């Protein structure tokens, strides 16, 4: 708006070549800034209040709109939905009943089973034969009507004599077929709307079908079949369940009422003028369907009940809106009070934390979410304090490790230089055994300490194992039996330092002075696997010790055997993953067998790849 004023003013003075003074422009900019600061909420608390208010108002408007739309839709579509469905059910039932009755009448024509027997019955004059045929007719009628329990009276009516030629049940004395309410039909077939049964002992409401038949001898009879209808029960149930006085009317093709569930409003014989399938009159809303046999079924509901439901819904809507607005106002005030105090506490904690205060404070706001925020804030303080201490400890530890690293680098180098001096001293004094012993020890230490730059292969592992056994045989009197198969696998890569720990366990913890150590190594080119078996005949292991050695996790009780085997298992898992397997089998006083199954790659294939 302000911008429009400025544009208009500039246009007014454009012809005069004049412009507003800078003071006026600054004044207008100040007004815009004041309006922006007033209506643009920078505070989170204010924004929450505004959003809650807008949300509640929006929900109230939405609820009112939905309620009104539901009421309007209910009023507009009730005929097309609930009434149409109920009417469809009634029409389907009536069609099914008439269809069943029609099938029975077909069996009673001369071409049907019962009709054929009736033809013989009419032409027979012998009383005994008539009784036998009457029994057969009753039996066949029972078979025909067995699938329809609602079937009641079945008869052949002679219009010439005005009497029934055959009936399965006793008839009323005053019955006449001409008085039946015909609702549809043409020619020889006629369908009657619900009426009172013609059976003397029944007051049920039934629907019926009549068919005119002519037998070969010229006898003309009328077949009458009736079945009980539940139309009255269905209408009562519908009225009670929905609490609405529905009326059901059957009319013929001319629009004449032949049956009405509410005779006081729509009596039989009245002409009902309705156009279309649904609509509204002054007193009723209605829906109509046409049956399969040409009759019309109409379901009607008084407009007063229809509008009463509409007014009830409107009143409920007004009360709901009023209560919702009141609750919105109260809830807005409560939320403003609940949110304001925790936010102030959070702001206070942030300020003190920014000043370097690491102490924790306990707050109970009564709101779980804010309490969890304060708890997490205290946890964060403690974690920062711990991180500061950890950093200090790590710096001290790093400095200590650097000193230890220098010491560890000096000690092995000093040891190797000393051993080399001893070796040359032995050579100078021609001490061959000492020179051989020290040379083997140097080779062994070079390999184990990783001083050797060559890659570990099966051949190098076997050579180191031989060197170790030679050193041990200088001290102990045990026999070693080696069975190593030659092959390309010997030059395949292998995990470093995996054979010596197993052999060392056997020598130090298993063998006696006169024991036997058997080592067998062979390969399978088909499966690309190397099988290594190290067996001693020493004192063996107990079941408890064997179970302890099978564990993958470190254990304080794993000493001797356990430390070396755990190292070998870790090296195999690191080098091969889960492709390698190590098994241990031992029996007390009989010895221990360690089996390794290791994959290898043929050097020729490796070069080809």
For position 155, which CATH number holds?
Answer: 3.30.450
Kindly list the distances between the CA atom of residue 16 and the CA atoms of 3, 8, 12, 22, in Å, as whole numbers in the listed order: 21, 14, 8, 18
Q: Given strand 182-186, what is the order of strands in its sheet?
A: 163-167, 151-158, 220-228, 205-214, 189-196, 182-186
Question: How far apart are alpha carbons 484 and 236 in whole angstroms?
Answer: 101
600 plus 473 within the same structural domain: yes
517 and 403 both lie in a single domain: no
Contact 577, 495 (CB under 8 A): no
pLDDT value at 424 more than 70? yes
Q: Return the structure tokens found at 583.
A: 């098994």
Domain that holds residue 491: 457-608
DSSP string, 465-490: HHHHHHHHHTTS--EEEEEE--SGGG
Convert the pLDDT of each residue in 198-252 to its tens digit. Answer: 888 888 999 999 999 888 888 888 999 999 998 888 888 888 887 888 889 999 8
Q: How many domains does the chain have?
A: 4
Same domain, yes or no: 468 and 554: yes
pLDDT at residue number 193: 92
* Contacts of residue 348, Cβ cutoff 8 Å, sequence gap at least 6: none
The confidence score (pLDDT) of residue 533 equals: 95
pTM over 0.85, yes/no: no
Nearest to 218 by CA among 160, 279, 293, 274: 160
CB-CB neighbours of 473 under 10 Å: 14
Q: Are residue 472 and residue 569 in the same domain, yes or no? A: yes
Closest CA to 286 of 76, 79, 73, 78: 79
- Do 395 and 474 lie in one domain? The reply is no
**Residues 390, 402: Cα–Cα separation, whole Å:** 18
pLDDT tens per residue across span 354-403: 777 777 777 777 777 777 888 888 888 888 888 888 888 888 887 776 66
Residues 488 and 596 in one domain: yes
If asked whether residues 160 and 192 sit together in one domain, one would say: yes
Q: Is the confidence at residue 65, as pLDDT, over 90?
A: no
Contacts of 344 (CB under 8 A, 6+ apart): none
Looking at 453, 479, 508, which one is the last position of a domain?
A: 453
Are 419 and 541 contained in the same domain?
no
Could you read off the pLDDT of 320-358 as tens digits, one per residue? Answer: 878 877 887 787 777 777 777 777 777 777 888 777 777
Residues 385, 407: contact at Cβ < 8 Å?
no
Lowest mean pLDDT among 70-79, 113-122, 129-138: 70-79
3-state secondary structure of 193: strand
Checking if the pLDDT of 489 tops 80, the result is yes
Q: What's 539's domain CATH number? A: 3.30.565.10
On whether both 416 and 543 belong to a single domain, the answer is no
């Amino acid at each position: 708006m302000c911008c429009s004023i400025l544009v208009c003013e500039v246009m007014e003075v454009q012809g005069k070549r004049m412009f507003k003074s800078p003071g006026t422009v600054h004044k207008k900019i100040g007004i815009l800034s004041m309006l922006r600061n007033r209506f643009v909420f920078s505070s989170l608390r204010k924004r929450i209040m505004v959003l809650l208010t807008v949300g509640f108002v929006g929900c109230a408007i939405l609820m009112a709109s939905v309620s009104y739309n539901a009421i309007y839709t209910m009023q507009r579509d009730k005929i097309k939905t609930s009434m149409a469905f109920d009417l469809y059910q009634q029409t389907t039932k009536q069609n099914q009943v008439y269809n069943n009755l029609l099938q029975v009448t077909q069996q009673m024509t001369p071409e049907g089973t019962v009709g054929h027997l009736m033809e013989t019955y009419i032409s027979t004059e012998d009383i005994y034969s008539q009784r036998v045929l009457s029994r057969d007719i009753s039996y066949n009628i029972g078979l025909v009507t067995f699938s329809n329990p609602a079937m009641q009276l079945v008869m052949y009516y002679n219009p010439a004599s005005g009497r029934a030629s055959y009936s399965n049940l006793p008839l009323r004395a005053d019955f006449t077929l001409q008085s039946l309410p015909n609702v549809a039909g043409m020619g020889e077939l006629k369908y009657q709307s619900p009426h009172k049964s013609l059976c003397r002992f029944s007051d049920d409401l039934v629907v019926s079908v009549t068919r005119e038949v002519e037998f070969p001898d010229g006898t003309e009879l009328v077949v009458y079949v009736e079945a009980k209808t539940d139309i009255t029960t269905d209408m009562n149930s519908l009225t009670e369940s929905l609490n609405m006085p529905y009326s059901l009317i059957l009319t013929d093709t001319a629009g004449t009422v032949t049956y009405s569930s509410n005779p006081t409003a729509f009596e039989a014989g009245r002409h009902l003028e309705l156009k279309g399938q649904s609509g509204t009159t002054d007193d009723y809303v209605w829906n109509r369907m046409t049956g399969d046999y040409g009759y019309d079924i109409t379901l009607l509901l008084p407009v007063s009940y229809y509008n009463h439901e509409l007014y009830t819904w409107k009143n409920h809507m007004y009360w709901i809106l009023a209560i919702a607005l009141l609750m919105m106002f109260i809830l807005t005030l409560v939320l403003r009070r609940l949110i304001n105090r925790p936010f102030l506490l959070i702001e206070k904690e942030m300020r003190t934390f920014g000043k370097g205060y690491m102490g924790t404070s306990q707050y109970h706001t009564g709101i779980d979410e804010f309490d969890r925020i304060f708890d997490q804030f205290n946890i964060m303080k403690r974690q920062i304090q711990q991180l500061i201490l950890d950093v200090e400890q790590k710096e001290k530890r790093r400095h200590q490790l650097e000193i230890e690293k220098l010491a560890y680098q000096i000690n092995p180098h000093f040891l190797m230089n000393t051993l080399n001096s001893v070796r040359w001293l032995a050579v100078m004094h021609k001490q061959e055994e000492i020179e051989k012993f020290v040379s083997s020890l140097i080779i062994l230490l070079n390999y184990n300490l990783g001083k050797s730059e060559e890659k570990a292969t099966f051949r190098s592992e076997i050579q180191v194992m031989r060197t170790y056994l030679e050193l041990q045989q200088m001290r102990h009197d045990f026999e070693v039996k080696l069975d190593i198969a030659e092959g390309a696998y010997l030059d395949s890569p292998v995990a470093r330092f995996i054979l010596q720990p197993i052999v060392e366990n056997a020598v130090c913890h298993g063998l006696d002075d006169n024991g036997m150590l058997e080592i067998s190594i062979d390969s399978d080119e088909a499966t690309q696997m190397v099988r290594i078996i190290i067996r001693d005949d020493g004192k063996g292991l107990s079941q408890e010790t064997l179970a302890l050695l099978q564990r993958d996790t470190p254990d304080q009780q794993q000493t001797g055997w356990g430390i070396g085997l755990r190292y070998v298992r870790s090296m195999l898992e690191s080098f091969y993953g889960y492709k390698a397997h190590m098994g241990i089998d031992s029996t007390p006083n009989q010895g221990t067998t360690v089996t390794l199954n290791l994959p290898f790659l043929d050097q020729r294939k490796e070069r080809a790849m």
